[in-house]
C-alpha cells in the first residue's frame, strides 16, 4: 500500500526525479554513439610497390587515417614500434608461425625478446599453427601443451595470443580455432575471424553461427573486398581492396555489431598489387562508407 506523502515530500521527490533525469541525459551525451573500432592494415610490407620504409609507411597510414598497423613475423619489431610511436600510431598485431607437428621446431628464439619489446602495449600475436594436416583433432592435446607454454610466456607482457584460421594450416577453420582455444582455456588466448580464409574453406557461407560460437574469445576480425562464390584457385578473387568484390561486407559488419563485437578490425592486404597508398586510400574511403551505412 502506498504511504501518504506531504506536499514537501512530494516536491522533494519531483526535484530528485528531475535531477536523476538530468544525470541520465548527461550520461547519455558523454557516452553517445558506439565505440569507434580501430581499423588497421596488415600484410602491406611485401606488396608496397613504393618500397617505403617503416617510417614512411607510418607517415602514410597516419595521413590516411588508419589507427596503426599489423606486423608480419618477429624481425624488425623494434624498428616498427619506434616508427609507429613517432607517428602516434599503434602496433596492433604481430603474425608468427607455430609448429605443432610430431617433432615441432623449438619456438623462435625471438619470441621472448619480442614479448619484452611489446610489454604493456596490448599487442595481439596472430598464430599460424602448422605441422599437421588441416583440422586434425588428434594432435589437440600435444598442441594445447605448446600453446599453454606460449600463453605463460606472454602473460607478463600483457599480450594476447590469437589462433588464426588459415587455409592449409592445422588451424584452418573458425571451428578449429574455437575448439583449440577452449581447450587451452587461458584468459590471454583467443581467436580471430579472417574473411578471406573463411571464404576459401567454408562453402556454407553462413558466418553467423560461427561468429556466435566464437564471440567469447573473438578478439580480432579481418576484412577485405572479395568475390562471393565457391572456392576456386587464386587469391585474387578473395583479397581485393575494400571497395571491390561482390561479398556483402556491410552485412558481415552488421552481424558482428548485433553480436556485440567492438574489437579491432584488420584490413587484409596480402597479394594486392600496385602502390600501397592507392589501395589503402580506397579501402579507407570504403571503410568510412561502411561505418556510415551501419549508422556509426
Alpha carbon 258 to chain centroid, angstroms: 17
Domain assignment present for residue 172? The answer is: yes
Q: Are 183 and 144 in contact (CB under 8 A)?
A: yes
Direct distance between the N- and C-terminal alpha carbons of the chain, in angstroms, rounded to an integer: 46
The CA distances from residue 221 to 40, 56, 64, in Å, are: 11, 26, 20
Domain assignment present for residue 2? The answer is: no
Its pTM stands at: 0.85
CATH code, 192 = 3.20.20.150
Domain assignment present for residue 103? The answer is: yes
Q: Are strands 160-163 and 124-130 parallel, antiparallel or unpaired?
A: parallel
Per residue of the chain (296 residues), what is the pLDDT tens digit? 333 344 443 434 433 333 333 333 233 333 333 467 999 999 987 777 678 999 999 999 999 999 999 999 999 999 999 999 999 999 999 999 999 988 777 766 789 999 999 999 999 999 999 988 999 999 999 999 999 999 999 999 999 999 999 999 999 999 999 999 999 999 999 999 999 999 999 988 899 999 999 999 999 999 999 998 765 667 888 999 999 999 999 999 999 999 999 999 999 999 998 899 999 999 999 999 999 875 44
Q: Are strands 90-99 and 124-130 parallel, antiparallel or unpaired?
A: parallel
> How many domains does the chain divide into?
1
Give the angle 18-24-28 at the CA atoms, nearest 5°.
145
Q: What is the span of the domain harbouring residue 84?
A: 39-293
Amino acid at each position: 500500500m502506498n504511504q501518504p506523502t506531504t506536499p514537501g515530500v512530494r516536491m522533494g521527490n519531483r526535484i530528485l526525479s528531475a535531477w536523476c533525469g538530468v544525470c541520465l541525459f548527461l550520461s547519455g551525451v558523454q557516452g553517445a554513439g558506439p565505440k569507434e573500432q580501430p581499423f588497421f592494415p596488415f600484410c602491406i610490407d611485401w606488396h608496397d610497390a613504393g618500397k617505403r620504409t617503416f617510417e614512411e609507411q607510418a607517415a602514410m597510414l597516419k595521413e590516411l587515417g588508419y589507427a596503426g598497423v599489423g606486423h608480419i613475423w618477429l624481425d624488425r619489431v623494434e624498428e616498427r614500434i619506434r616508427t609507429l610511436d613517432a607517428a602516434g600510431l599503434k602496433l596492433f598485431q604481430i603474425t608468427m608461425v607455430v609448429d605443432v607437428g610430431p617433432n615441432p621446431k623449438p619456438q623462435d628464439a625471438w619470441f621472448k625478446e619480442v614479448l619484452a619489446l611489446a610489454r604493456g602495449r596490448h599487442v595481439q600475436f596472430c598464430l599460424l599453427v602448422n605441422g599437421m594436416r588441416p583440422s586434425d583433432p588428434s594432435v589437440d592435446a600435444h598442441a594445447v601443451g605448446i600453446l599453454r607454454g606460449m600463453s605463460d610466456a606472454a602473460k607478463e607482457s600483457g599480450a594476447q595470443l590469437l589462433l588464426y584460421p588459415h587455409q592449409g594450416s592445422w588451424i584452418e577453420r573458425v571451428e578449429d580455432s574455437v575448439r583449440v582455444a577452449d581447450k587451452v582455456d587461458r584468459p590471454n588466448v583467443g581467436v580471430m575471424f579472417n574473411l578471406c580464409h573463411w571464404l576459401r574453406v567454408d562453402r556454407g557461407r553462413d558466418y553467423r553461427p560461427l561468429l556466435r560460437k566464437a564471440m567469447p574469445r573473438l578478439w580480432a576480425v579481418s576484412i577485405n573486398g572479395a568475390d562471393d562464390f565457391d572456392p576456386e584457385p587464386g587469391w585474387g578473387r578473395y583479397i581485393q581492396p575494400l571497395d571491390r568484390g561482390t561479398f556483402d561486407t556491410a552485412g558481415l559488419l552488421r552481424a558482428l555489431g548485433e553480436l556485440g563485437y567492438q574489437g579491432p578490425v584488420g584490413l587484409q592486404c596480402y597479394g594486392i598489387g600496385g602502390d600501397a597508398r592507392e589501395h589503402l586510400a580506397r579501402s579507407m574511403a570504403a571503410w568510412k562508407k561502411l561505418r556510415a551505412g551501419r549508422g556509426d
